[in-house]
Structures are given as C-alpha cells and as structure tokens.
Amino acid sequence: MTAEVLEPTKSDVYSRITDKIIADLEQGKLTWRKPWNSEHLKSHVMRPLRWNDQPYTGINTLVLWAIAADKGYQSPYWMTYQQATGMKANVRKGEKSTTVVYADKFSKQEENEKGDLETKQIPFLKAYHVFNADQIEGLSDAYYKKPEVKSFNPELRREELETYFKNTKAKITTGTKACYAPFKDAIEMPPFESFKDAVSYYSVLGHETIHWTKHINRLDRDFGKKRFGDEGYAKEELVAEIGSCFLGADLNFEPELRPDHVAYIQNWLEVLKNDKKFIFSAASHAQKAVEYLHQLQPIN
C-alpha cells in the first residue's frame, strides 16, 4: 500500500483539514455532527469502518463522517484503491478519494552534546487516500448493507446505558444543572424526568463523563484553563463535544446539541485559527477519553 510520509512542520494536511472544519464552523455547522444532521444516516450513525471491519478513530472519524454526510454515502466502509482492486472491485471512473492520516513515530539516533548517541522519536504523518464503498463497483454485498436501525422507547431509561455509566464508577449526583465539578470529582445531573427524552439525558451524561476523564488520577488532561470561557476552557469543551459524538456512535445514542455548545463556536474558531493542529489533538484526546471509558467496562 502506498502512502505519503509527511513531516508535520512541512505538511499542509493539518491546514487542509482544519480549514475545512473552520469553514463549516463559520457557517454554524459542527463537522463532527453532520451524520446526525443527514436524513440518510439518522438513527443508525456508526464509526466509519476499514475494509476489514476495524473502525477509524480520532480525526479520521470526523473527516469521514463529514464527507459521507456531504456526499450522501450510506455505506460505512472505506478502502484504498489497491484494497478495492485486491478484492476484484473497481473504483468508478471520476470518483474522488478522501485523505485520511496515520500518525506514528520513527526512531533516529543522534549525538548529544557529550558525543553520546541518543535515540529520538521523530513524529510523522502518513496520508492515505480512500474511497467509500458507494464509490466502488463489484464488492461483496456486505459492504453495501445499510447499518441496522434500532428503535427504543424515547421515554424510558436504557438498561445497557445505565450499566455502562455505572461501570465507570463515576460519582453522579442529582442537582439543578449538568456539569462536572473537578473539586468534588463528581458529575451533577438534573433529574432524568426533567429531560425531554432518554436520548437527551444520556447525551448530556456522556458529555459530562468525557469531562470526568480529565481528572489528574485518570487521563490528566489539562489545557491551562484559568477562567470560564478562556482558551483552555474552549479546548476542553471541544474535546468533550467531539468525545460525546464518538461515544454516541459507539453506544448507539444521538448526542444532544445543547445551546451553550452552539455559543462556543466563536471560541472554537479562535482556537483552531490560532493552532491548525489542535483539531487533530482534540480528536485524539476525545478518542483516548472514550477508550478509557470502554476499558472500565467488564470483559465479557
């Protein structure tokens, strides 16, 4: 499989992806929520999948969700040209690929000031070009199947989600607002009955539970917040917003778009314009938070 090896300081990958997200935000669109705003994907949003059923993670999830929503692709599967031809399938003439990235490091030995050899880890990006299964002819039927739509009673608690959040061992108290209080290390949630439906409740709980993972004894995530609404605050809210969407896709519930999150758009725009790499970092932190919560679940 061919790939471009890209030095982060020289590559325009960060800028290209970030600029697309900035353009969406300037129109009031949240790129990572596009799947839930698309009729063809409503009620059965899931992670984008590689040809071998392995889910994409981090920034690639955001990129592929947005492209699928824009283009109307219904298949969750993505693959390279070589992978498609390896299965005796053909990318239709005129179809355009989507760039996804793989971050890694390689080791390099260099002499230090004392003349001793030191091993340094040099970060790099590999850029791959993939196509959605809907752009490809001749794949097996499994690649074209629509995700199964599951229906739930919108007014009732969902046992599997109750169990999931209980397994995290997060302290969840009932109060008048939804928030994570670091000084108490506790999540405060309004009563279940005060939400318009169960999905809204679990969406808000998911968002606050992502915040809960930032504690020093968990993932120790700190962006230097000093006051409400500053850059550090905006960065953490962006991580929690993206993380709640990842969690919703994994657990099959639709994240709630809260009015205060829409109000954060200007803050997020400022952060992303100042640092073209931060959306990659935010998606990575969100992915780590969701994986941390998954790891707290008992192994069946």
pLDDT at residue 200 greater than cutoff 80: yes
Report the range of poorest mean pLDDT among 66-70, 137-141, 164-168, 184-188. 66-70
Non-local (6+) Cβ contacts of 126 within 8 A are 3, 4, 5, 6, 101, 102, 103, 104
Report the range of poorest mean pLDDT among 27-41, 69-83, 239-253, 284-298. 27-41
Question: What's the rounded mean pLDDT across residues 200-216?
Answer: 96
Q: How much is the pLDDT for 145?
A: 80
Q: How much is the pLDDT for 112?
A: 78
Contact 17, 44 (CB under 8 A): no
- Percent share of the chain, pLDDT over 70: 93
Q: What is the pLDDT of residues 257-276, one digit of tens each?
A: 777 777 889 999 999 999 99
- Percent share of the chain, pLDDT over 90: 65
User: Per-residue DSSP letters for 136-173?
Assistant: EES--GGGGPPPPP----TTS--HHHHHHHHHTT--EE
Q: What is the pLDDT confidence band of residue 9, given thresholds at 50, 70 and 90?
A: very low
Q: How much is the pLDDT for 102?
A: 87
Question: What's the rounded mean pLDDT across residues 217-237?
Answer: 91
The Cα-based distances of 242 to 67, 151, 280 in angstroms read 16, 24, 11
Question: 250 or 147, which is more confident?
Answer: 250
Question: What's the rounded mean pLDDT across residues 284-298?
Answer: 97
Q: Which of 290, 294, 293, 272 is nearest to 281 (CA)?
A: 272
Q: How much is the pLDDT for 43?
A: 55
Q: What is the pLDDT confidence band of residue 51, given thresholds at 50, 70 and 90?
A: very high
The Cα-based distances of 43 to 162, 202, 286 in angstroms read 20, 15, 22
Phi, psi of 149 (to 5 degrees): -90, 125
Question: 121 or 245, which is more confident?
Answer: 245
Question: What's the rounded mean pLDDT across residues 109-131?
Answer: 83
Q: Which of 18, 15, 10, 125 is nearest to 66 (CA)?
A: 18
- 186-189 and 179-181 strand pairing: antiparallel
Question: Does pTM top 0.85 for this prediction?
Answer: yes
pLDDT at residue 129 greater than cutoff 60: yes
Q: Is 189 helix (H, G, I), strand (E, B) or coil?
A: strand
Q: What is the pLDDT confidence band of residue 6, given thresholds at 50, 70 and 90?
A: very low
Question: What's the rounded mean pLDDT across residues 71-80?
Answer: 94
User: Which range is most confident: 35-49, 110-124, 285-299?
Assistant: 285-299
Question: 116 or 223, which is more confident?
Answer: 223
Q: What is the pLDDT confidence band of residue 28, given thresholds at 50, 70 and 90?
A: confident
Q: How much is the pLDDT for 4?
A: 42
Question: 51 or 151, which is more confident?
Answer: 51
Q: Is 67 helix (H, G, I), strand (E, B) or coil?
A: helix
Q: How much is the pLDDT for 255?
A: 87
